[in-house]
Structure 1
Amino acid sequence: MNTTVQQNITINYCFPDNNLSCIKVVHTGPAYIFLFILLSCLSVCTVFLNLLVIISISHFKQLHTPTNLIILSLSVADLLVGLFLMPVKIMQLVDTCWYLGKVGCYISPIINFLSMSASLYSLVLIAVDRYIAVSDPLLYRTRISVCKISVIIIVGWSGSLFYVFMYLYLTDHFHQSQIRCYGECILFRKQSSVILSLVIVFITPCTVIIILYSIIFKIARRQAKAFRSVNNGVSRIQRDTVPNSSETKAAKTLGIVICVYLICWIPFFIGSLSTEHIASVSIVWTVFGWFIYMNSSVNPLIYAIFYSWFRESVKYIVSCRIFESSSSRVNLFPERL
């Protein structure tokens, strides 16, 4: 039953006792071993870095702000990618068979699309949050609260989950009658559903994000000039009407997060228009999939580079000082003292 087609590649069957089993291709060459180790490290780093963000924002009371709660939501979506999706895709690089059965084949795209929808929803919230903070700081302080943002995030995740189920149901993913053999997992796509999803889930939200950030940076430039023209004798009330540099810096940092997201996701959506189904062993799916998975690893690195509070909180977490009774109330912004 076993034959060798070329060096370092052995062909077996996914389920030898089943006559309808798919052919199994096991890659054992040095390149695949190196890729397996590299991507495994990427998966571990993705989980570790996003856990640092989640623990930081959850533990330290000083970080319980509306903006950070949205970042927390984004990190949870990225954690799902590193914890569930990356390991599955890594194993498929070595062994092309699908061993998780029908249930696993149903759940995998649910987690995939849920993390995608929740990420984009979080980015839209970030854009709206930064727009209000920069354009009208007084309105932001009075109307945007932690409680309201928490409710909005929960509603957004619930809506994303509902959308994922409806999309997979309408594309007949839960009625996989066209599976060619056991050990295969295919995500079926109707062209009409793909186009509708592209408009609703990607083009429309991304257009909103780009428009809002264009307005944000115009306002930031205009108000930066106004701020520089304010002399030292201006009243405190007048100063409060001018957004401080931290708000503008936050807008720029989160703008980088959004740009990286678009760069990583655009190939996936373009590729979705060119095929009606994507098999688990598809090279196109593998390449585009790892583009979007890498985005989940990059976001925490952006926070580490631009946010001093993240670097400070990591020091407390790594040194296990967060287990101290008063650690949740520690000051992560010593420059504000």
Structure 2
Amino acid sequence: MLRPLADQEIRKPAGRTIMDYLNISVFSVHDPSDTSFCYDSINGSCQRILRTLDVKIFMIFTMAVTVLVTVTGNLLVILSIAHFKQLHTPTNHLILSLAMCDLLLGIFVMPPSAVRSVHGCWYFADVTCKLHTGMDIMLSTASIFHLMCVSAERFCAVCSPLTYRSRVRSATVLCMVSASWIVSAVFAYTIVFSELNLKGAEDFYNSQIRCMGGCHVFFSRGSAVVTSMVSFFIPGLIMFGIYSRIYFVARGQARSIDFLTNQLRMASHRPGEFRYRTRKGTMTLAVVVGVFLICWTPFFLCNILDPFIDFSIPPALIDALVWFGYLNSALNPFIYAFLYPWFRKALHIIISGAVFNRNSCRIQLYS
């Protein structure tokens, strides 16, 4: 996630003072006499967002379920692919690394973000805020880079099936995975620790945004455009173009493939089965990419638009869009379970305890 904003982040629309706007939130209590700060004994402390007990319970329950589903679901995906030897394919290795992104997001990013969203304050150290923000940006960027690599791998599998095995090897996948993690980490932590996100708007940030007890990620106009394009829009357009090309190529080759499959059916069922698995896998991964884009597009549109409209988008809306993006990490295992028969079979084996049987790693999940 590129821009985790706390509800107490300060905005300055026309006609309101900064302190007035601090009390505005769709989940906050609007009585101006109820004023509380993150640190009452410290001057310059951020103002805490006051919420009713019912709202707090609802938020805590919703976020806890999201974290639990994210961690449990992606852990099952990782165990399935890592344990069963039949699943050790280039596509599944990329899915394994993508599931690791989602798992780390659920363990290290979502819980602190939930505390900040509920209380409107950051109660951890400043360096922890930077580490948390850097990991947040890194994991969201790595996720979309992984999906871009998956798109490229599917393009080779569908559009160049005869040269697929020579092009996509274990070393190729390892390079893709390593590049996705390293580039994302360097990009994210460079922005956070060098404060390039403030370039051109340092005075505004120091006078209007910075306060004790907050964990703000503020982007000036230039940095918002650059980071949003690199972390989301450019990879998203590349993936859209790749899958569009895959669709038209597969459509054009469908008749010839069906004819070849019918000719070989008397001798072997494997060509037809291979074609089915390839198309099924491509469709499933296209759904994964589509869900990712749906979940994160609203946030990144707001992120890139907000600096150009004087930061007038309500913080509560941005915080809600952040969690809508987080929801993507919880949905991926359900997509696999719904569309991948081998994953459903692997889940049954793991949950039933048969995974502890001798040579269970050699069980054939599909023929």
TM-score (norm 1): 0.87
Query: How far does residue 290 in structure 1 lie from its aligned partner after superposition?
Result: 1.1
Describe the shift of the 1:292–1:6 C-alpha distance in structure 2 as closer, same or farther (beyond 3 A): closer
Contact (CA 8 Å) 2:38, 2:121: kept in 1 or not? yes
Residue of 90, 96, 105 corresponding to 2:120: 96
Which structure exhibits the higher relative contact order, with contacts defined as CA atoms closer than 8 Å and separated by 6 or more residues? 2
Partner SS state of residue 15, structure 1: coil
**Which runs of structure 2 are paired with 1:181-200 in the superposition (5 Å)?**
181-200=211-230
Instruction: Decide which structure has greater strand share.
Output: 1
Residues 142 and 21 of structure 1, relative CA distance in 2, 3 Å threshold? same
Q: Does the 8 Å CA contact 2:261/2:271 hold for their aligned counterparts?
A: no
Measured in 1, the distance between the counterparts of 2:273 and 2:79 equals 32
Q: Which digits, 9 at most, give the CA deviation of each residue in 1:137-196, with x for residues without a partner?
A: 1211223122320232012211111111233322249x9855643211111212111112
- Corresponding letter in the other structure for 2:238: V
Aligned partners of 1:10, 1:57: CA distance in 2, in Å?
52
What is the Cα deviation at residue 243 of structure 1? 6.6
For 1:152 and 1:123, locate their aligned partners in 2 and report how far apart those are by CA, in whole Å.
11
- 2:198 touches 2:223 (CA, 8 Å); kept in 1? no
What is the Cα deviation at residue 94 of structure 1? 2.6
**Quick check: 1:131–1:212 contact (8 Å CA) kept in 2?**
yes
Q: Which runs of 4+ in 1 moved over 6 A?
A: none
Is the CA contact 1:257–1:299 (under 8 Å) kept in the aligned structure 2? yes
Does structure 1 residue 245 correspond to structure 2 residue 276? yes
What one-letter code is carried by the residue in structure 1 that aligns with 2:278?
Answer: E
Between the aligned partners of 1:232 and 1:199, the Cα distance in structure 2 is: 46
User: What is the CA-CA distance between 1:10 and the residue it aligns to?
Assistant: 6.1
Instruction: Report the CA distance between 1:233 and its aligned residue.
Output: 4.1
Give the corresponding residue for 1:256.
Answer: 287
How far residue 38 of structure 1 moved from its aligned partner, in angstroms, is: 2.1
User: 2:63 — aligned with what?
Assistant: 39
RMSD of equivalent CA atoms = 2.9
1:256-335 → structure 2 map (5 Å cutoff): 256-276=287-307, 282-333=315-366
Please tell me the residue identity of whatever aligns with 1:289: V
Cα distance in 2 for residues equivalent to 1:234 and 1:315: 34
For the residue of structure 2 that corresponds to 1:187, the secondary structure is: coil
Within 1, Cα distance between the matches of 2:64 and 2:166? 45
Deviations along 1:279-300, one digit per CA (max 9) or x if unpaired, are xx92132122012101111111
Cα 1:15/1:198, change in 2 over 3 Å: closer
TM alignment of 1:26-175, pairs within 5 A: 26-168=50-192, 169=194, 170-172=196-198
Contact 2:197 2:219 in 1 (8 A): yes
Code of the residue aligned with 2:197 in structure 1: it is T
Tell me, yes or no, if the aligned pair for 2:101 and 2:143 is still in contact at 8 Å.
yes
User: Residues 107-162 of structure 1, C-alpha deviation per residue, up to 9 Å, x if partnerless?
Assistant: 12111111111111111111111110011112112231223202320122111111
Give TM-score, length-normalised by structure 2. Answer: 0.81
Structure-2 residue corresponding to 1:204: 234
CA 1:325 to 1:181, structure 2 compared with 1: closer, same or farther past 3 Å? same
Q: Note if contact 1:268-1:289 (Cα within 8 Å) is conserved in structure 2.
A: yes
Q: For the Cα contact (< 8 Å) 1:223–1:242, is it kept in 2?
A: no
In 1, the alpha carbon distance for the partners of 2:260 and 2:82 equals: 38
**Separation in 1, partners of 2:148, 2:262:** 37
Measured at CA, do residues 320 and 242 of structure 1 come closer, stay the same or move farther in structure 2, by a change above 3 Å?
Answer: closer
**In 1, are the aligned partners of 2:35 and 2:47 still within 8 Å (CA)?**
yes
1:201–1:89 Cα change, 3 Å: closer
Q: Please report how far the alpha carbon of residue 307 of structure 1 lies from its aligned counterpart in structure 2 after TM superposition.
A: 0.5
CA change 1:228–1:240 in 2 (3 A) is closer
- For 1:162, what is the secondary structure of its paired residue? helix
Q: Does 1:220 align with 2:244?
A: no
Q: Offset at 1:219? A: 1.8
Deviation, structure 1 residue 231: 6.9
SS state at 2:48 partner: strand
CA contact (8 A) 2:264 2:271 kept: no
**Deviation of the 1:260 alpha carbon:** 0.9
